[in-house]
A = this chain, B = another copy of it.
Amino acid sequence: MLENRITEFETLKGLLDNRQYSSFMRRIDGMNPVDAAEFLAWLPEQRQPFAFRLLKKDTAAEIFAELEPEMQSRIVEALSDRETGGILDELATDDAVDLLEEMPAGVVKRLLRVASPDTRAELNRFLAYPEDSAGSVMTSEFIDLTGGMTCAQAVEHIRRTGLDKETVYSAYVTDASRVLQGVVELRQLLFASPEQSIRELMDENVIYAHTEDDRETVANLISHYDLLVLPVVDREERLVGIVTVDDALDVLEEEATEDIEKMAAILPTDKPYLRTSVWETWKKRIPWLLLLMVSATFTSTIITHYETAIGTYAILTAFFPMLMDTGGNAGGQTSVTIIRGLSLGDIRLRDLLRVLWKEFRVSLLCGLTLAAATFLKVYAVDFRFRPTALLENGAVQNNLLVTAAVSLTVFGAIVVAKLVGTLLPMGAKRLGFDPAVMASPFITTIVDAVTLMIYFAVASAVLGL
């Protein structure tokens, strides 16, 4: 598919280069707006505004909505005020709001000035909704019906007013003060008798959100109930907008990426990787690296405390990385499972005891398996190929006891890691923090410290250090 597209892009560019503008316009008009936007982005930068200017007004707005913010600014800068105002008026409210949120303040002022008074009033209202709220992702282009209409009148109303609406497949019934009363699917209208009243036909059991709800809640409702559209109401239950399923898809994808980034100790970005500058990437990554480096003070203090023992029994240090990594991996497995479960709603806060009890049993199983495997591997393989060492103090190193200490620690590390991996994300959620920041790197630091304490305690006891 991709190769075909590049050929098509070349053909289109050829038409531009040979000044066959009308063929170009016909061809790009028949394209899917997503593909057309990708074609414009694929053109050399200096050709983009020119190509964009050739588009018909309504096609232009459709394609403009699909462009990346950087390219939108470039095009806005190249257009005249009249042209920009035209596009802004044609854009769906949610796309126009997206655009304004990405632009620098100066450009926003200019854009609002060139928009028509209606568009301007509408945009100002939408810009007041908090970021990431339902209000900020909804669009006001919905179809409203009144309960008194017949089905035939409703279809006629949709036909008359629906052409530039975001969707015509769900229409909402409101009363005189615009309070949401019910929903009618176009599908129902198709199968109903023309004389039936909308009040009779409508489903009063509407699933809806409030403007100040989080956009993730909205997306989860759409996903949970398999909706195509979700209506959004204000505090007085008046219908003010709708969110469509394609926006919900984008939200869920962005939120998953954000969670993944947080779990990997990165501050979340909303820009694609290749369009983020080196400095920005650095800024997103360095805070956690610094914090985790500083928090490693605990582990180094513990080790320093046992410096003499290590001087005598240096072989103990050979197992540091394995012990740290195993604890970190075991804790990471648990915390990541819990974080994802919390975000999908599979796990709730009140499940804490059930989750702890389950993780405890899993940790016993994993701990036993891994301790046994470690014992076999270290004693039967690692030590077999190594001459019996003499210690600094002249004694013979007891391989069996060293192996026992390592295996016991593996067991303890896994049990602790799985419990910490459960408690930390659930505790964060309880306190109103985002559980995702409690993922592996943070847990690793705690588990490292605990593992070292177990290791030295066990080794001291077993080896008599």
Contact = CB atoms under 8 A, between A and B. Distances in A.
Interface of A: 30-32, 34, 155, 158-159, 162-163, 168-169, 186-187, 190-191, 205, 207, 222-226, 228, 245-246, 248-250, 252-253, 256-257, 259-261, 263-266, 272-274, 278-279, 281-282, 285-286, 288-290, 292-294, 296-297, 299-301, 303-304, 307-308, 310-312, 314-315, 317-322, 324-326, 328-330, 332-333, 336-338, 340-341, 344, 346-347, 351, 354-355, 358, 361-362, 365-366, 369-370, 373-374, 377, 382, 386, 389, 392, 410, 414, 440-441, 444-445, 448, 452
B441 A332 contact: yes
Nearest to A250: B223
Contacts of A155: 190
Task: Please give the count of copies of this chain that the complex contains.
Answer: 2
Contact of A440 (B249, B264, B315): B264
A318 B290 contact: no
A312 B311 CA distance: 7
B448 A344 contact: no
A452 B324 CA distance: 14
Contacts of A274: 341, 346-347, 351, 354-355, 358
Contact of A294 (B223, B297, B377, B410): B377
Contacts of A300: 318-319, 321-322, 382
Contacts of A224: 34
B303 A317 contact: yes
Nearest to A389: B307
13 contacts: A163-B191, A186-B190, A226-B246, A226-B249, A249-B252, A253-B256, A260-B336, A273-B346, A274-B354, A285-B366, A296-B326, A310-B314, A324-B324
Given A159-B190, A249-B248, A282-B366, A260 B293 contact: no
Contacts of A297: 377, 382
Contact of A225 (B34, B252, B366): B34
B293 A322 contact: yes
Nearest to A271: B346
B362 A281 contact: yes
Given A304-B318, A307-B314, A336 B290 contact: no
B452 A321 contact: yes
Contacts of A303: 317-318, 320-321
A151 to B, nearest CB: 13
B162 A190 contact: yes
Contact of A273 (B162, B186, B347, B373): B347
A245 B264 contact: no
Nearest to A322: B296
B253 A223 contact: yes
Which 8 A-B residue pairings sit nearest by Cβ, starting from the closest? A296-B322, A264-B336, A299-B321, A226-B246, A272-B346, A300-B318, A303-B318, A256-B256
A273 B279 CA distance: 39
A386 B307 CA distance: 13
Contacts of A282: 362, 365-366, 369
